[in-house]
Chains A and B, each alone.
Chain A
């Protein structure tokens, strides 16, 4: 039975808004450049559990292909989960009918990485935002207009731009439009999938500040997905690190960045460059050998054993569970029991 400290912890916490239990998303597929006859399964997300408290920002980090985006899509049932539960205020989203799901979808909104692809090029800003209000049957025409103008002001866009099309805006402005669209229906929970990764650093900082201000203003809860550890440290209260479809470590942000436990977390953190030459001089990098194995062919035992520099015999036999090592700090590694 897969049961870990994280799940148990969440159970006693009253203020948990979202709880993910043993979530798995598997895709039937065919590995590229292999014979047609050899069909296999990609285990993109393979047993992920975590919970998010109300008003918290949980950062979900990992390298490409680790399954972090798939987790976010499975939460919203954009991709149906293979197994597992997603409990939003105690209700299992995976078991609901589409009709029952809709009111909850209003409360869980999403913003995406690419502000060019996530806005319909043939709809004006106004139409884009109004669409959401129509779907959720919020307000009359006039009220809608006021609400949209107010929302544009909240994200620092001039309401005069409401009749323009996405191509007339810069990347940063488009991301503001995406945020306005997500927030117009007054959600409680925001899934942000790499929301600042496509932006230059000076604009990225504007959007990060905006997201932080809005979180406070509307008492929002964020699941913030990113590959950029510096951004995640900056914005998150708690951080979960994923590797090849599983969470390897989860803890409070400062604990995780000051005292990482899992060998993968240690290597990952040591690899991030810091803009300070004096500091860089004294830093020791843990250079991982090799690359992330294919998700078609996940190693037996611990899935990090092909690259781990602390591997032991047991790591090839048994997959480590995510276990609480210290209070509020869990890791999935045989080094810690």
Chain B
């Protein structure tokens, strides 16, 4: 079963209609996740990585709308389901973890209420059974004396502990996929290490696929077998982790790596990417990275590159991906 494609996203478009025009937050994005695999989706703020995650859950907020593409989960197109069918999948087969655990937990309900809600809803078991399972889940995610803590409210937990509760909630119905959107960004680095260790364990022991959305290349390097890099609503490069880090072919990926300071070595001068990310409001048909790209040629301003394979398992959306640029 391991290694089968479990989620296949084809040509996903998600847009937000504004009075001034249309913001194309996700623009023709395709990738897949295999079972038991951890996929890293990286990019800077506004690149569309979170909206991609929300699109899979069909939770894109108004005025956003999925305007095209297919999201095949176990060979069923999620975009063709009605809301009732979608609810049986959401939280049960596909779960989500957000960046800020305080705003994703209800402050006036006990952890017990919030944790058992999904179990009762999706598994149809009694309150008592759900309670027992909830305590087990808290133990799994490393919360000590879970019998007592389960009666606490979210404010009684620290940031790291809340994120553990969120993970317990996410795995409560044995999902096939967990979408984790910046799960450790709000946490300190020593707590981040604890949470990442836990997520790795869940992926390896339970075999859950994880789509890890993050801006931190370091996190992806340590955890993800496959990495997808997004820029301005598009997927610009995807490959196995070791390929992305040792031999990126898209100038944006290369630029990200040369602008990241590293803790493990004496530093050289950073090579930043000039300029700022473009507006996604009615974007022109050209390479979105071209204005900031030092390797841009005239064609990049006229045409839009599509994601093409440069070697098996390695694809990039750049006209010059075949050349040795650096």
Contacts and interface: CB of A to CB of B under 8 A. Distances in A.
Contact of B271 (A205, A227, A270, A280): A205
B302 interface: no
A63 B190 contact: yes
Interface stretch (B87-95, B130-138, B169-177, B260-268): B260-268
A61 B256 CA distance: 24
The 6 closest A-B pairs by CB, nearest first: A273-B218, A205-B259, A205-B272, A234-B261, A271-B193, A63-B188
Contacts of A64: 188
B319 interface: no
Contacts of B81: none
Nearest to A63: B188
Interface in A267-316: 267-280, 283, 285, 287-288, 291-292
Contacts of A278: 242, 246
A257 interface: yes
Interface in A195-254: 200-206, 208-209, 212, 227, 229-231, 233-235, 254
Contact of A205 (B191, B192, B193, B260): B260
Contacts of A172: 276
B217 A275 contact: yes
B221 A231 contact: no
A277 B219 CA distance: 10
Contacts, number: 132
A288 B190 contact: yes
Contact of A271 (B158, B161, B192, B217): B192
Interface residues of A, number: 45
Nearest to B274: A206
Interface string A12-40: 00000000000000000000010000000
Contacts of B306: none
A9 interface: no
Contacts of A230: 218, 260-263
B270 interface: yes
Contact of A272 (B218, B258, B270): B218
B181 to A, nearest CB: 16
Interface string B83-113: 0000000000000000000000000000000
Interface of B: 44-45, 155-156, 158, 160-161, 188-194, 196-197, 215-222, 241-242, 245-246, 255-264, 266-267, 269-274, 276-277
A170 interface: yes
Contacts of A235: 261, 267
A201 B44 contact: yes
A205 B269 CA distance: 9
Contact of A274 (B160, B263, B270, B271): B263
A280 B222 contact: yes
Nearest to B197: A287
Contacts of A257: 263-264
Given A200-B45, A201-B44, A233-B267, A272 B189 contact: yes
Contacts of B197: 285, 287
16 contacts: A202-B44, A202-B255, A203-B276, A205-B273, A230-B263, A233-B267, A234-B261, A234-B262, A275-B221, A276-B245, A277-B222, A280-B222, A283-B222, A287-B190, A287-B197, A291-B160
